[in-house]
Chains A and B, each alone.
Chain A
Amino acid sequence: MAKIAVVTDSNAGITQNDAKNLGISVIPMPFMFGDSDETYYEDINLTREEFFQRLGDGQVVHSSQPSPVEVLKVWDKLLEDGYDEIVHIPMSSGLSGSCQSAMMLSSDYDGRVQVVNNQRISVTQKRSAQDALELAAKGWSAKQIKDKLEEVKFDSSIYIMLNTLVYLKRGGRITPAAAAIGSLLKLKPVLQIKGEKLDAFSKARTVQQGKNTMITAMKNDIEKLYGGIANDPVYLYAVHAQCQDEFNVWKQEVIAAFPNIHVEEGQLSLSISCHTGPGALAIACSRKLEELR
């Protein structure tokens, strides 16, 4: 049986500590603030607290993809350490060029490095990395794992309610979403990540309405797309961006809404948080693989 390593990036929300425990290699995402050239690496020399501190101070955040040198270093080290193949799961190709670059780099490895383009981010990306590990343990090859994960790429949903539109506007990057919620009224937009797009899904006037919207949307997805709530078909996550107190309430509400499903918690990755700002609440799910049930 081939020895397979799983690599992802810090968008998966896996800390360096967790990575060691899980047996996954996590490449940190680089961030820059304002006009400064200094580069910070998520969870290496940039903590979540520092990140949100700078974001709150009004500093403009630039995120970037990992440098090819860093990616190659990780791969080469793993292969030297005795792994036969690598499954590399970068953040969604719809949100970053990381995937494109990694695919290009992998072409020199004769198929030993398989880059998965399954358009995941945050907790659903983390789940993909965990699925890859479990499939590898069952004896799947890197190529088989890549194909499987890409086959089920649409089997996940994320809904995010923003507390404010400030950061979305500041980033200027998610224009369709911003345009769709250009209203006279004060609104809390609810965004959706499905496949490669982060876009407007709905809107709410109050936090409670926004939460109801997310729960309704998630129930609809699970019932209509993922096989019905009664069958416990998904991994379900309650997620937030730097708002622990609100999150504690939110998590209980998610648990109450989905009594049959185990609810895990997570935090929005920094690459998403720089667009949502602090105070965003989210719900996410990733369908369980038939092969791993």
Chain B
Amino acid sequence: MSATTINSNLLRQMFLTGAANLEANKAWINELNVFPVPDGDTGTNMTMTVVSAVREVTDLGDTDDMRAICKAISSGSLRGARGNSGVILSQLFRGFCKIVRDQKEIDVPLCANAFDKAVETAYKAVMKPKEGTILTVAKGAAEKARELADGGTTDFDEFIPAVIEYADTVLASTPDLLPVLKQAGVVDSGGQGLVQVLKGAYEGYQGKTVDVERLLHPGVAGEAARETEEEEKPTYKFAYETEYMIILDTPMNKKVEDDYRKFLSTYGEDITLLVQPKAIKLHMCTNDPGMVIQKGLQYGQVRQMRVDNLNLKNDPIPEFTTSETEADPAEPTDGETKDPAAAETPHKELGIIAVCAGDGLAEIFKGLGVDVVISGGQTMNPSTADILDAVEKVNADTIFVLPNNKNIILAANQAAAMDGEKKIIVIPTKNVPQGITAVINFMPDLDADANRDNMTEEIGHVKSAEITYAVRDTVIDDVEIREGNMMAIGDAGILGVGDDMNETAAAALEKMIDESTELVSVYYGADITEDDANKLRDKITAAHPACEVDVQNGGQPVYYYILSAE
């Protein structure tokens, strides 16, 4: 086989096989994380990014419109972008698509141009590009592509394997560029993810096809059940989740209530009806929300109504086309989809969104005045779309986003870069203590700029550590770590390793506390008892009587303790 062009159908096929190969190697890529912590998994994040694009491409049906396919790849991956590598991957796709979308067919020189654009776009998305990462691998691939194209190569059968081989070579050299990789004895996980995409794409080029359904619903294909909504997509018999409140004209007597319930039960299921003398509240699933609302109007004034299609809940909302060139004005939008909850809350100038995992931490953030808490962090990095959804819920002009995890900052920045009515300011909080410090220092009476400056400065003043366990043997910062060890990860690397979590936590705090420390906060995780946490508190208090120790139930997974000293 020999070919000098790739048409839109082949490109689509190559994209799907690329995605499938990434998915197939996900677990292996996860293992490459430098910190042997079960968190922010690169393979999972990149896969979810790409699967979001697969979904948009699949939704197109059978089309050979290059522009439509490119747009689906570009906006799907942008919206689904999670984690740093996911965001960079989405930018690579975006840059690539910008070049090829106006062509009927791709030849080798165009492909080289597209690679160049991809790399340029990705580098721009990262504030401080670091070498030895996915960026370096992408740059290597683009350089090889350029060399081959300029050298007169026209046959993709020659071109693709050569580019992949070179990308593999660059990948193998990432440990020489990033010492932290070398010590851990791994190559860069994001770079590996990119190579797997390219390898998969080559398989597609060679004629391999993939079962898209299996990719979109891995659970169905017999793989272990996933915990995430994103990957599971059940079909609901009654699609419209319908909610409203009725301010009653007259109290509802038993007979009327029974009739109403009977009526509702013929239109759907999962009915929750709360009846009080002045008002009723209904939540149900139905295929005919119109009738359900109509019926309610007989009893009084409808308020706080919300209707959403459960079967489409995880699908992208069309009007979120992303940027200058990708927005297509001719595309129909289905009107305003403002969240009614946002309309209900009084409008204000400034709002705050925080990302965290754990009920306790969510409560703490809400208690401090955060408008919306996005669940995520350690085990699940929220996507750009998740952040935009949360922004939609806050009725404010400017919204501060606290990612509270260094692997979420880039997705948040991407959300901030997307055009929208509301201004998004990302305060680059790398962990929960920084997030709490930021929100405590939020002053609603000051303007957005003053708050941004102040919060950004204050988060530098809190020292933090997270205590978790190692999932494999490795060496980081010259510290040898065995699988199952307790690790204390501080702001600048490993603070300590041990066998006992309280001792590891106390040892880490010894390194964090100095003469100016006034307060130590202990947020204990879901796997820790209050007793354990109190023992840790007593230990700290005994060693540092001048320090106040505040113990809070964070309820977070993975991290036994999140600690801060300030």
Contacts and interface: CB of A to CB of B under 8 A. Distances in A.
A54 interface: no
Interface stretch (B80-88, B360-368, B403-411): B360-368
Interface string A84-108: 0000000000000000000000000
B454 interface: yes
28 contacts: A182-B367, A183-B364, A183-B368, A184-B363, A184-B367, A185-B364, A185-B368, A185-B436, A185-B552, A186-B550, A192-B445, A201-B443, A201-B445, A203-B368, A203-B440, A204-B440, A204-B441, A205-B437, A205-B440, A205-B519, A207-B518, A209-B441, A209-B461, A212-B441, A213-B443, A216-B446, A217-B445, A220-B450
Contacts of B458: 209, 212
Nearest to B368: A183
Contacts of A220: 446, 450
B105 interface: no
A186 B442 contact: no
Given A204-B440, A208-B518, A185 B367 contact: yes
B368 A202 contact: no
Contacts of B231: none
Q: What's the interface size class on A, roughly?
A: 20 to 34
Contacts of B519: 186, 205-206
A185 B446 contact: no
Interface in B506-553: 516, 518-519, 521, 548, 550, 552
B364 A209 contact: no
Most chain A CB atoms below 10 A, which of B443, B516, B552: B443
Nearest to B553: A184
Interface of B: 363-364, 367-368, 436-437, 440-443, 445-446, 450, 454, 458, 461, 516, 518-519, 521, 548, 550, 552, 566
Contacts of B368: 183, 185, 203
A250 B436 CA distance: 25
Contacts of B441: 202, 204, 209, 212-213
Contacts of A205: 436-437, 440, 519, 521, 566
A178 B368 CA distance: 13
A213 B518 CA distance: 16
A191 to B, nearest CB: 12
Contacts of B548: 186
A148 B448 CA distance: 33
B268 to A, nearest CB: 39
B566 A206 contact: yes
A187 interface: yes
A183 B443 contact: no
Contacts of B445: 192, 201, 217
A276 B521 CA distance: 25
A221 to B, nearest CB: 10
A215 to B, nearest CB: 10
B565 to A, nearest CB: 10
Most buried by A among B363, B367, B441: B441
A183 B367 contact: yes
A180 to B, nearest CB: 8
A182 B445 CA distance: 19
Contacts of B566: 205-206, 208-209
Contacts of A183: 364, 367-368
A50 B436 CA distance: 39
A285 B552 CA distance: 38
Contacts of A192: 445
Contacts of B552: 184-185
10 smallest CB-CB distances across A and B, nearest first, come from: A206-B518, A183-B367, A202-B443, A186-B550, A206-B519, A184-B367, A216-B454, A203-B440, A206-B566, A184-B364
Nearest to A208: B518
Contacts of A203: 368, 440
Interface in A29-56: none
B457 to A, nearest CB: 8
A93 B519 CA distance: 38
A185 B436 CA distance: 10
Contact of A208 (B440, B454, B516, B550): B516
A217 B437 CA distance: 17
Contacts of A201: 443, 445
B443 A187 contact: no
A201 B442 CA distance: 10
Given A185-B436, A187-B440, A209-B458, 20 more contacts: A183-B364, A184-B364, A186-B519, A186-B548, A186-B550, A202-B441, A202-B442, A202-B443, A203-B440, A204-B441, A205-B519, A205-B521, A206-B518, A207-B518, A208-B516, A209-B437, A209-B461, A216-B454, A220-B446, A220-B450
A253 to B, nearest CB: 13
B346 to A, nearest CB: 15
Nearest to A212: B458
A225 B368 CA distance: 28
A13 B441 CA distance: 30
A174 B215 CA distance: 58
A192 to B, nearest CB: 8
Interface string A166-199: 0000000000000000111111000010000000
Contact of A209 (B363, B440, B442): B440
A202 B550 CA distance: 20
Nearest to A223: B450
- Of the candidates B442, B450, B548, the one having the most CB atoms from chain A within 10 angstroms of its own CB is B450
A207 B517 CA distance: 10
Contacts of B446: 216-217, 220
Nearest to B450: A220
Contacts of B442: 202
Contacts of A217: 443, 445-446
Contacts of B550: 185-186
Contacts of A185: 364, 367-368, 436, 440, 521, 550, 552
A85 to B, nearest CB: 38
Contacts of B436: 185, 205
Nearest to A192: B445
A216 B446 CA distance: 10
Nearest to A202: B443
B530 to A, nearest CB: 14
A23 B85 CA distance: 73
Contacts of B516: 208
A185 B363 CA distance: 10
Nearest to A194: B445
B175 to A, nearest CB: 41
Contacts of B364: 183-185
A220 B443 CA distance: 11
Interface string A230-271: 000000000000000000000000000000000000000000
B245 to A, nearest CB: 25
A171 B364 CA distance: 26
Contacts of B450: 216, 220
A205 B523 CA distance: 15
Nearest to A190: B443
A169 B493 CA distance: 42
Contacts of A182: 367
A65 to B, nearest CB: 30
A209 B517 CA distance: 11
A216 to B, nearest CB: 5
Contacts of A204: 440-441
Contacts of B521: 185, 205
Contacts of A207: 518
Contacts of A184: 363-364, 367, 552
Contacts of B363: 184
B443 to A, nearest CB: 5
B367 to A, nearest CB: 4
Nearest to B439: A203
